[in-house]
Amino acid sequence: MAGSTDVAKVYERFISLVREVHWLNRISDLLSWDQQVMMPPKGVSARSEQYAVLSGLAHDRLAGNEMADLLAHLEAHSDELDEDQRVNVREVRRSHDRARKVPRELIQEIVTTEGLSQKHWLEAKQKDDFSIFAPWLEKMVALKRRVADAIGYEKTPYDPLLDEFEPHTTSEEVAGVLEGLKPALVELVRRIESSSIRPRREILERSFPIAKQEEFGAWIVRLMGFDFEAGRIDRSPHPFCSGANGDVRITTRYKEDYIPASLFGLMHETGHGLYDQGLDPKHEGTPRGFTVSLGVHESQSRLWENLVGRSMHFWRFAFPFLQAF
């Protein structure tokens, strides 16, 4: 990059490289969706190797010398960039500096372990036997500790891990928020437990044919504003949401005798999905077009699941339609 004065061309190459990282990660997301929704059990080993290859390619591009040179050049000419461009440079700088501290092999070992552990988590869940999954959880915690050590921290190894999901936030700050909420929540639980009023549960614990749950759930999701031309619903052992913009995939699980499991799972994941579908497609593949943090993301899912889905106003509207299904 030495001697280059064409900032526009440098930025164009920078964004091209940033988007390569994004698309490699999105391919991994699609493979993960497939593993949890469609993939036959014997595909696990090969899938884990696929994760490793893709994560290595993404790490090379994000942490490599070309990205370092591009960032340095653009930072030296930041006065020639507009606000959106400066945001992209700033956020990629954070990710780049972090990535350079974590060995490529460690990243690959983590994604491989995640892929292989999935089937053991599912088996433990089905058999209600934590010991099946425990060794894999222990291994993952050990790997994440190595990431924390590689990045560095002042007080606790969780801080650099938390920073990946909630930028610039520390465990101490989160603890302060939770401690502030604790007294009122403990008192609320105490009042509920000591109350003589007990809600009727039989309406929740009765037979709801799964086919009808699927129809009703999809109807609610559509009412919430989810675009089925840019997304889909599937089944999985545990609800999740993946993707962005024009390809957002949400899942839920079904129990014939307990409709809240599927319905509130769908409303929660649709909250995530609406956020993802609402991202500006003009900036797709760049930090400017990515989600702000997991906390903001979760605020959207919890808003729909709890503040809307569990409210009296919602059920005064929705219950007659549920009866009709």
Catalytic site positions: 269
- For 86-147, give the DSSP string: HHHHHHHHHHHHHHHHS-HHHHHHHHHHHHHHHHHHHHHHHHT-GGGTHHHHHHHHHHHHHH
Question: What's the token pair of residue 317?
Answer: 């509207």
* Cα distances (angstroms) measured from residue 34 to each of 30, 47, 85, 115, 234: 6, 10, 34, 12, 10
Q: Where are the domains of the chain?
A: 7-152, 205-324
Q: Distance between CA 235 and CA 121 in Å, rounded?
A: 17
Residue-by-residue pLDDT tens, the chain, 325 positions = 434 469 999 999 999 999 999 999 999 999 999 999 999 999 999 999 999 999 999 999 999 999 999 999 999 999 999 999 999 999 999 999 999 999 999 999 999 999 999 999 999 999 999 999 999 999 999 999 999 999 999 999 999 999 999 999 999 999 999 999 999 999 999 999 999 998 888 888 889 999 999 999 999 999 999 999 999 999 999 999 999 889 999 999 999 999 999 999 999 999 999 999 999 999 999 999 999 999 999 999 999 999 999 999 999 999 999 999 8
Contact 217, 232 (CB under 8 A): no
